[in-house]
Structure 1
């Protein structure tokens, strides 16, 4: 399994496309889709996790 964060962004979607074209399909795609749409990436034979992580730093 390969985990790709930011999978719907430009770089992430290019990585997903390249791996899929090489026959690597056991991918876990992670994105919160805050700046793009789900349709921007191919999710065939992939597990898609749709969530956002917020880290608060106080100090």
Structure 2
């Protein structure tokens, strides 16, 4: 997943806290705005499902 997310324009770094069989936390850092649809597409391309955290 880090490889796919790292290809998204504007991405500076990617951190994945993998939880096998559960929800994994992914943090994408950037110095400029990143297209949320591009992030979602990269996660899908890596074979995972995006679940947005709501406050």
Tell me, yes or no, whether TM beats 0.5: no
Bigger Rg over Cα: 1
TM-score (norm 1): 0.28
TM-score, scaled to structure 2: 0.29
